[in-house]
A and B are shown apart, each in its own frame.
Chain A
Amino acid sequence: MTLRNGLVLLVCLAASILESTLPFLFHLKAVRADLLLSVVLYLALNDEVVQGAALSLAAGYLSDLTSATPPFLYTFLAVLTFVVIRLAGSAFKTGGGPQSAAVAFAASLIHSSLAAVLFYFVAPGSEGLVLQFVPLFWSALGTAIAAPAVFSVLRRLDKALVPAEAATLVR
């Protein structure tokens, strides 16, 4: 594991802690930013496939740990999101904040809807699909607001580390 991957995992861990403490501290009912999803989006748009998919799996696993939903739901969805965004990646340009926010908003809506579909059909005690669009919308909005910050942190990390690691490999 490279230093860069280790640091990305640390960012995931920090994102997991922040996304579960901030809504509590600020009494946020619905506008909950999915920071780990933003990490997955960044990886899908900037990382190589094998490495990005493995890191997305780790991000999804952390998401599972904080959600108490059926295990591996978010792990699966994180890798799926990575694949879908990766395949559609050529259509997205996320150089600036607004673009990354727009991608995060759309991805969060789709990600949450898919989670709802899987959750309601497979989870015990569920009685079919009931999509709650209002919480999904607010969550997507929170994710869109936070995504540029997450992208910026990861971009800085890459700028600082990738040349150094490349130089190490050349030597």
Chain B
Amino acid sequence: MRSLLRRYREPVFVAFLLALPFAFFAAKARKPMHHNYFDRAILALTAPLEKAIVVAVNGVQDAWHGYVALRGVREENLRLRREALHEHNEASALAEVKAENERLKRLLEYADRQSPTRYLAAEVIAVGASPHSHVLRIARGTADGVTQGAPVVAPEGVVGQVAVATAHYADVQLILSPTSAVPAISQRTRGRSTVKGVGDVTRCKLEYALRTDDLQDGDLLLTAGGPGFFPKGLPIGRVVNVGKRATGMFTAADVIPAVTFSRLDEVMVVLGHLPPPSSAANALRGDPQ
């Protein structure tokens, strides 16, 4: 037996190395992702290096752009003075619009106070390299309050959800991933649907949009909200390639995401909703809810 093992040492060892990860993969594929201590140690080693590379390269780029910007600054100054004169005339016309804006803003602030959401700005430091890993790594982790599953957004719209988080870093699974599904609502028709990732870097798939909703190319989809999901009303993307079918319950269409994922430098992690002022005061007093 021992001689047999010695003779087939190489194939046995390789078969073991093949079987071991496959067994783990098959067992863990449908469970939530989780980093063990060893994974965390490796990430604690690599993530700061990734951040350092990004900071260094961005620093060089900024310095170079600053130098380039200084050239021709005199000509630009003259042009800007002429433009300023023109803008001054337009400013008076905008004063009325500003007053109206202030009034509407006060109304919005009132609405925000009903359910204010806490956001945490996070710097993007890396991306997943494989075509199947639609992932961003951000320089925020559980030490900053980031939790697994937390929604992540950008000013342009929805980005994704936190897949795994370590103390100071987290991996964000983009809405492009085949495992992502975001409840959506059409801005124009108010019809509900789901935006599902298909693994393509340029588009998602629209699902469960009722045929009677009359969706059209160019319609903007917003997040539908709900507990545990993205805050309501954030842009997800625009509907394209609407397939009008004579039968069936649902409309088939694609969605072009509102966010350009390859150009994200910073994102916002949604940490949750702040308690309303009354409940916060009760909590401080120790009153039961």
Cβ contact within 8 Å between A75 and B21: yes
Contacts of B54 in A (CB 8 A): 21, 24-25
Partner of A122 from the list B10, B29, B58, B164 (CB cut-off 8 Å) is: B29
Contacts of B173 in A (CB 8 A): 68
CA distance A49 to B43 in the complex (A): 28
Residue numbers of A with Cβ under 8 A of B are 13, 16-17, 19-21, 23-25, 27-30, 32-36, 49-50, 53-54, 56-57, 60, 62-63, 65-76, 79-80, 82-83, 112, 115-116, 118-120, 122-126, 130, 132, 134-136, 138-139
Q: Which of B1-38 contact A (CB under 8 A)?
A: 9-10, 13-14, 17-18, 21-22, 24-26, 28-30, 33-34
Cβ contact within 8 Å between A76 and B130: no
Least distance between A46 CB and chain B CB atoms (Å): 16
Instruction: Known A-B contacts: A20-B137, A69-B130. Give 4 more (CB < 8 A).
Output: A29-B202, A63-B129, A76-B18, A124-B29
Q: Which of B146-173 contact A (CB under 8 A)?
A: 163-164, 171, 173
CA distance A36 to B129 in the complex (A): 10
**B interface residues, tally (CB under 8 Å):** 56
Residue numbers of B with Cβ under 8 A of A are 9-10, 13-14, 17-18, 21-22, 24-26, 28-30, 33-34, 39, 42-43, 45-46, 49-50, 53-54, 57-58, 124-133, 135-137, 163-164, 171, 173, 178-181, 198-202, 261-263
Partner of B39 from the list A16, A23, A65, A136 (CB cut-off 8 Å) is: A65
**Inter-chain contact total with CB atoms closer than 8 Å:** 173
Cβ contact within 8 Å between A112 and B131: yes
Contacts of A19 in B (CB 8 A): 129
Cβ contact within 8 Å between A17 and B179: no
Contacts of A29 in B (CB 8 A): 201-202, 261-262
Cβ contact within 8 Å between B17 and A79: yes
CA distance A67 to B29 in the complex (A): 13
Q: With A68-B133, A130-B198 in contact, do A50 and B181 touch (Cβ < 8 Å)?
A: no
